[in-house]
Structure formats: structure tokens, C-alpha cells
Structure 1
């Protein structure tokens, strides 16, 4: 099945580059196992969660933009740990000047770095079976899943908490509290490392831990309860 999938992939220069990734078989096996994984009910302030972020060459995952950095930190028992993941990615294309100006990542910095499939395989090792947390999670997951579907045949099956949706739940009338910057300011969080993958993951982790008390005050203590509240909010 895996070898058949590889034959179906159109061989562009990027395809040729990524199909030679040494971690592609390992990544495929991990995604296949996760595809059939059933998820328990995680307690929001006592389970392990992985907060992550990506930096990219642009906004269009389904065109030619690529991930150039992945960063993540682990939260356990409601506290940010020192366990982290940070890796530049070789996008196999020039990084636009505007992306370098925003992220500080240059072509020279990524030239000898691993490809995205290798980095995602390493990231999944760090993630394990922990749920993910991200701000505007669909942006990051779209970039990740477009690669995983093309080269592995599966998207990433995982529980994910989006702090943007949490902000909409906790502050329904305060439209100004939606961005990472506005939430960091609201919670008096210093935005160290802004627009770096690890820095933004750490800011998001701090925002999430600040939100926990408010969620518990609403009677939301588990991932299932949170999912039900968010679904109800969308329906009303």
C-alpha cells in the first residue's frame, strides 16, 4: 500500500526531494497507527498536552508555501514544563524576504536542516499520544496535513484544542481578544520570541494555562466537556 502510494505521487522537484526523506517510512507507520487510535477523556489541568506552532513562507498551504520551523512545549498538570521541541525545516525553495523579515529565518539558516517529513516524524515522537494545543490551529494543521496526505496517505488524527476558540468561548463579546498578541496583553504575558515557532508556542502555552481557571469556573474540566461546550456554542 505504501509503495503504491509513492508511485501515484506526481514527481515534481519537491516530490523528489521529500520522497527521499529517510524518515518517510517511519512517519507513515506512525500515522497509520494514529488513524485507528481512540482518544480518552483528558483532564485539562492534569494531563499532558503539547502546545505547538509553525512558521511558514506564506499563508497558502495548498499552493507553494512551506513550513520553515516547528516549535512545541509540553504542559503537564497545568504547568509548562522545560520539555520542548524546536527545529528549522529545509523548504526546498527560497524563503521570501517578507517571511525572513517576520520570522528572522534566512535561507542560510535552513540550508542544511532536515526536510519537513523528517521534522514531522520527530515532532510526532515528541507529541506521543498527547492532545495538541495551538492558536488558530487550523492554519498549522492545514500546512501539516497537506504534506501528510500527499506523502503518507493519512492526515494527523489527534485531539486539538484551539486557543482562538477558547477566547471566543470565554470572551464572547470582546472581539478585540482574538489574536495571540491581544490575549498575551490581556493576560500580562511578555511576548518573548514572537514570530518564532518555539516562542509563539510558549506564549500560547501561557495563555492556555491562564484560561484554565475560567474554564473550570464554567464547569469545563475535560476535553470531552470542552468539545461539547464548543459544539453547543456553534449551534446557538
Structure 2
């Protein structure tokens, strides 16, 4: 599965009232693993940022004057996002700005190019009801190092959100078994084929303490999911 963690910085809060995107940052996950194939651009918004927005992102109007306009980057951005599932914190905000930029160019809304959107703010509110669920708060809660985040920045925030998302979904990347693992061992210049078909792996049965700890973890996950975990639903009645 290809996922793109996306964040934008803007001139203000309202795409409908003429605010524009000034920065876009994207981080690629393939089968829930970071690939390093990221995308990052500063964009000339053809207008000045609001004073309050400048305090958030610190990107000056002068800095953006010679940057490419969204129209010049649209094809590259859409090609990069094509077919992927987007992961965004407070998705309606970023989606509204992307859609407005595409509308100006006579293009279809972003949903026509992608495979769906995951809103991590919605996820966080369900997992941590009544708590602060901004990116900084989630980083603190989930043990993600955000010490370099003094101002908002699209690429940095997307990188942090990628870590937050993996942690919020219980690090399931550890359960991914990659295909195509080589069965050849290099001995100097020579490759030796290793036959694994006869390998017998020992089966270690959990003791009572380990089994109890496992049940406690499952109970915590089920509680966080409000009793919607599949193993609880399919568990036979006692």
C-alpha cells in the first residue's frame, strides 16, 4: 500500500476567501515503511500572508517572491500523489486548499487523483477523547521527538506526522513481512544458495505471566477502539 503523509502551509485560514498554499511537504510510506521518496516545494502564492499566519510558519513574503507558482508545480504534485492514500492532520483544511488551487486551473478535485484520505485528527479524537490532539501534543504523548519544531513547516510536520501515525496505529509495520527476502548468503565473491525448506523452528509456548501480559495489551487496544476490534467481535461466547 502506498501512502503519502501530506502537510501544507498557507497565507491564512480560508481558501474560499483567497488564501493560498505557500508550502507543501509530502512523505511517502510504502507498506507502512518510510521510503525517502519525499516531495517538498515552497510556492509563490501571488499574495501576502496574513500577519497571524506569518507568526505560525515564519515564511516571509519576500522569500516566496521568486518561487514557482502552483500552476507550474501542479502536474508534478498530482503525479506524485496519484493513486496514493493521503494521511493528513485536520484533512478538511489541507484538502480545501488543494481543491481551490486545482479549481483555479480547471482541474478536478484532489479526490479524483487519489485513493482516499485518513484524517489523523479524527483518529486522535477517538483514541484520546477530551485531550489536546494537536501535532505537538501527539508527539509528546506518543514519544515522537519534535524538539526541532520551533515553527510550523510542511515537510517537517509531515515527517513528524508519519511517526505519529505509525505510533497511533500500534506500529503495525513490525508485522509486515517483505516479499523477496534473499535466500543466498555472500561468502566473499561467491554466492552460496541456502536451502531453508528443511529448517525446523522451535515453538516456544508462552507461560502464564506472558499470556496474561498479552491479554492485557489486547484489552487496552480493544478499549482504545471502543470494543470494535475484530478478535473481540469474533470471539466465541463463553
Indicate conservation of the 8 Å contact 2:12/2:49, yes or no. no
Matches of 1:128 and 1:150, distance apart in 2: 19
Residues of 2 paired with 1:180 and 1:144: CA distance?
21
- The equivalent residue for 1:114 is 68
Q: Which has the higher helix share?
A: 1
State the partner residue of 1:212: 169
Paired residues of 2:20 and 2:101 also in contact (CA < 8 A): no
Instruction: After TM superposition, list the pairs within 5 Å mapping 1:1-236 onto structure 2.
Output: 47-157=1-111, 158=114, 159-171=116-128, 174-191=129-146, 192-193=148-149, 194-213=151-170
Moved more, 49-58 or 186-195: 186-195
Structure-1 residue corresponding to 2:188: none
The separation in 2 between residues aligned to 1:72 and 1:147, in whole angstroms, is 17
Superposition deviation, residue 49 in structure 1: 0.5
Unaligned runs of at least 5 residues, structure 2:
176-217, 223-227, 230-238
Please state whether the residue corresponding to 1:83 is helix, strand or coil. Answer: coil
Contact 1:54 1:69 in 2 (8 A): yes
Aligned length in residues:
173
Query: Which residue matches 1:28?
Result: none
For residues 138-184 of structure 1, what are the alpha-carbon distances to aligned partners after superposition, in whole Å with 9 as ceiling and x for unaligned?
Answer: 1000011122224325211230001011112323xx32142112111
Q: What secondary structure does 1:132 align onto?
A: strand
- Within 1, Cα distance between the matches of 2:69 and 2:15? 16
State the Cα distance separating 1:72 from its structure 2 match.
0.7
Native 8 Å contact 1:79 1:209 kept in 2: no
CA distance in 1, matches of 2:19, 2:49: 9
- CA gap of 1:49–1:110, structure 2 versus 1, over 3 A, is same
TM-score, normalized by length of structure 2?
Answer: 0.66
What do the CA deviations read for 1:20-42 (whole angstroms, capped 9, x no partner)? Answer: xxxxxxxxxxxxxxxxxxxxxxx
Higher RCO (CA 8 Å, separation ≥ 6 residues): 1
Mapped to 2, the partners of 1:134 and 1:127 lie a distance apart of 13
Task: Name the TM-score, length of structure 1 as normaliser.
Answer: 0.66
Contact 1:88 1:110 (C-alpha < 8 Å) held by counterparts: yes
Query: The residue matched to 1:152 in structure 2 has which SS?
Result: coil
* C-alpha distance 169-214 of structure 1, shift in aligned 2 (>3 A): farther
Partner of 2:236: none
- Taking only aligned residues, the RMSD between alpha carbons, in angstroms, comes to 2.4
